[in-house]
Structure 1
Amino acid sequence: MSEHNHVVKKDGELDMSKMDDAINRIDDGEKDRILNDFDSFKSYLHKRIQLAQSIGLNEEQLAQAAEKVAGYLAANEEPRNSEEKLLQELWKVGTQEEQHNLAHLLLKLAQGGTVQ
Structure 2
Amino acid sequence: MVDEERNVDTSKVEETASRMSESKKDEILSNFEEFKSYLHGKVQIGEKMGMSEETLAKTAEKVADYLANHEEPRNSEENLLKELWKVGEQEERHKLAHMLVKLVK
- Give the TM-score taking structure 1 as reference length: 0.87
Q: 1:8: which partner in 2?
A: 2
Q: For the Cα contact (< 8 Å) 1:12–1:57, is it kept in 2?
A: no
Whichever of the two has the greater Rg, that structure is 1
> Which fold has the larger relative contact order, with Cα–Cα distance below 8 Å and residues 6 or more apart in sequence?
2
Q: 1:50 matched to which residue of 2? A: 44
Match of 2:3, as an amino acid?
Answer: K
CA contact (8 A) 1:43 1:110 kept: yes
Deviations 1:31-77 (A, max 9, x none): 00000000000000001100111111111110000000000001111
Cα RMSD between the aligned structures?
A: 0.9
- Spell out structure 1 runs of 4+ moving beyond 2 A: 9-13
Give CA-to-partner distance per residue, 1:74-101, whole Å, 9 cap, x none. Answer: 1111100000000000000000000000
Q: 1:79 aligns with which of 73, 83, 97?
A: 73
1:98 alignment partner, one of 83, 92, 98: 92
Q: What are structure 2's unaligned runs of at least 5 residues?
A: none
AA matched with 1:58: S
Higher helix content, 1 or 2: 2
Deviation for aligned residue 1:17:
2.0
1:33 aligned to 27, 36, 39, which one?
Answer: 27
Distance 2:81 2:66 in 1: 12
Please give the TM-score of this superposition, normalised by the length of structure 2: 0.95
